Structure 1
Amino acid sequence: MRYLHLTIRGRVQGVGYRAWCAREAERLGLTGWVRNRASGAVEAVFAGPDEVVTALAQACRAGPPGARVDDILAHEASEAALAASGGAGPFVVLPTL
């Protein structure tokens, strides 16, 4: 099980990035969460098999149509990173922080 925390910067709010991210994570069977940040970034935590988490992290570099990703900060996380969503349940979209 791999836990990966991403902060995605660019034109990633107002273009359906969170919804796209949640759909992709659910399609791939990952758990975790995604939310907008007041700074204009999108933050996400993905949990699941290493190769699946890696694939979604790569897809996040493009995102949905209309998005422009300028930078992604990624770091390995632990199961504790799921706490914001209430634990290891389905992938969720959280309120803006």
Structure 2
Amino acid sequence: MDHPVMPDHAADPRTEQSQSFAVLGDVGAPIFAAWIARHARRLGLRGAILSHDAGRVELVVTGLPDLLDAMALGCSLGPQEVWVERIDRADVVLQSLNEFASIAD
């Protein structure tokens, strides 16, 4: 029986990846950065919030691909104090990250 072969460009679902997230919309609520950090820690992700202003939150996140997807979904729903219009994600190469932290506070 033949086993499916993953194409070279497909991510291995068992290997951690790092991605940058740019969360865009009406995201300036002061509680949003802390909410993101709590959500990421609950998912077991590592990373950091790099910047946070009224229209954009930038973060880097490391974890399993399914958990990165869960993070994006959680951020898109967010707390009721924010309105997320879209999330731009891109793969990044990072040396190491600690437990999720916010440097935007």
Q: If the TM-score is normalised by the length of the shorter chain, which range does it land in?
A: 0.7 to 0.9
- Give the alignment's TM-score, normalised by structure 2: 0.75
Secondary structure of the residue that 1:60 maps to in structure 2?
helix
Alignment of 1:1-97 (within 5 A): 1-38=16-53, 40-80=55-95, 87-95=96-104
Q: Which runs of 5+ in 1 are unaligned?
A: 81-86
- Give the alignment's TM-score, normalised by structure 1: 0.80
| CA pair 88-41 structure 1, distance change in 2 beyond 3 A | same
Identity %: 28
Superimposed CA distance per residue, residues 34-60 of structure 1 (whole angstroms, 9 cap, x where no aligned partner)? 143457310111101111111111211
What is the distance in 2 between the residues matched to 1:43 and 1:6? 6
Q: Which runs of 5+ in 2 are unaligned?
A: 1-15
Number of residues of Structure 1 aligned to a counterpart in Structure 2: 90
Comparing 68-77 with 18-27, greater Cα deviation is found at 68-77
Larger Rg: 2
